[in-house]
Amino acid sequence: MPCLEVADLTFQGRGPYSLTIKGGECLGLAGPSGAGKTLLLRALADLDPHAGTARLGSLVCEQVPAPLWRQKVAMLPAESLWWHDRVGDHFTDFDRIPSRSLALLGFDPSVGDWQVSRLSTGEKQRLAILRLLQNRPGALLLDEPTASLDADNISRVEELLMDYRQQHRAPVLWVSHDPDQLDRVADHRMVMMANGRLLAGD
């Protein structure tokens, strides 16, 4: 399956960064706050200006429209955005979300009719993950995907994301401040130092 390959990526005076994540592999990224981990994800998702090359198999970031790239190389931000009043209106087709996925994250189909204003921070984050996966991205860029969740829901989210990774052989870049979590989910680790240097962590 396609690898996510990054060569000489630079942005905001940082880099160059080069890395490869094989299909079905999870690379864990740790480091202090402010080191630039989120900026790296945003550059990889083509959300911020950058130089260098990023490719997912034959798809090259610099050669395709940004929306197409972000559909295939999808980023989950630390805080999800919601712009409609109703949960289901944020999904391409809410009715096609597998009931098992909803149940795993503690929901049933009625959540599609909920008002976003009634959602807790943790509920928004779990639903944002379902929203991200519904588009069947080929690679995942995850920025602290469980930071706002309790232990039980952390386990559920990890299970869902790892099931997706294995089923779709998707390369995953997972940012976390929790070393125990990276022990559970990551095949390899890197550490971004306070000065922006990216070092092998395993």
**122-131: pLDDT as tens digits:** 999 999 999 9
Reported pTM: 0.95
pLDDT at 1 over 90: no
Domain harbouring 30, CATH code: 3.40.50.300
Number of domains in the chain: 1
Query: Which residue range(s) make up the domain with 177?
Result: 4-200
Tens digit of pLDDT for each residue in 166-198? 999 999 999 999 999 999 999 999 999 999 899
Enter the DSSP assignment of 106.
Answer: T
> Model confidence over 23-73: pLDDT tens digits?
999 999 999 999 999 999 999 999 999 999 999 999 999 999 999 999 999
- Give pairs for 20-25: CB < 8 Å, separation 24+: 21/139, 21/171, 21/172, 21/173, 22/171, 23/169, 23/170, 23/171, 24/165, 24/166, 24/169, 24/170, 24/171, 25/171, 25/172, 25/187, 25/188
